[in-house]
Amino acid sequence: MKSLVKIMAGLVLVSVAGVRGSIISENFDSYAAGDLANQGRWFVANVNDHQTITVVSGGSGFDGGAGQSLRMYDNGDGKQPIASMNFNAKGNVSVTFDYKCVNGAHKPVVSLRSGSTVALTLSMNTSGYVQYFSAGAWHTTGVALSNDAWYRVTLTTDLASSTYAISITDVSGGTVLTFSDAKFVTAVSNLSRLVFSMNNEGVGTDFYIDNVTLVQFRSPSR
C-alpha cells in the first residue's frame, strides 16, 4: 500500500489541532507512464528536448518502491523546468512530499506561491545543504541530504509571521532535520500554488517526487 494512504490517515488523527482537510493528494499511480503534461491537475513549463518531467515506474522508498513517482531531469540548455499545481486555501497550509535526488547540483527546489508571487522557496541542495531563500540570499539549515536516498519533507506555514517550519525524516523514521523559523521570500495573505522546479544554472539535476499532500490549517500546527 502506498504510504500516501498512511499520510492521510495520520492527518485525520490530528484534525482536532486545526486541519480543515486535504487540498492535494497525489501519488502519481493513476497516471500513464511518460510525460506529465496534461495529466491530472499538474501544469508543466519550460520542458523541451533537454528537460523531462515524467511519470516513471518505481515509487517512494517509504512504499518499498511500489507504484510510480515523478522524475524531474535536466540534461541541458539553461532553462528552469517546472511542475506546478494550483489550489485554493484560506489560511496556513502544510505540504508533505517524498523526495530522492540522484544528482542535485543545480538546486532541486519546492516553493509555495500566492498567484505569481513567491512566498517561500526551499532548496534541497544548494552548495550541498538544505537551504531556504529570503532577503535575496540562500540561508543554510546546516543539513545535507544524501543522494539515492528517499526522504519525507514537510513544510508548515505561519502566514502571520511570514515563516515556516521544515521537517525531514528518512525511511527508517529517523529525524534528519527540524527547523522552525525559515523566512518567507515575500509576505502574503494566502497561498494558491505548489511548484517543484530546479535552478537554471547548468545540467545534470535529476530528482524524484512522490506522495504529495497538502492540507489547510486554521492555525499553524507548531
Residues 149-181 as b or e (16 or more Cβ within 10 Å = b):
ebbbbbbbbbbeebbbbbbbbbbeeeebbebee
C-alpha to C-alpha distance for 209 and 150, rounded to whole angstroms? 9
pLDDT beyond 50 at 127? yes
Report the alpha-carbon distance of residue 164 to residue 100 in Å, rounded: 22
Q: Average per-residue pLDDT in the chain?
A: 86
Q: Tell me the domain boundaries of the chain.
A: 3-217
User: Which fold is adopted by the domain 3-217?
Assistant: Jelly Rolls (2.60.120)
pLDDT 10s digits, 3-22:
654 444 333 333 334 556 78
Is the pLDDT at 51 greater than 90? The verdict is no
Beta carbons within 8 Å of 116's beta carbon, 6+ residues apart: none
Res. 58: pLDDT tops 70 = yes
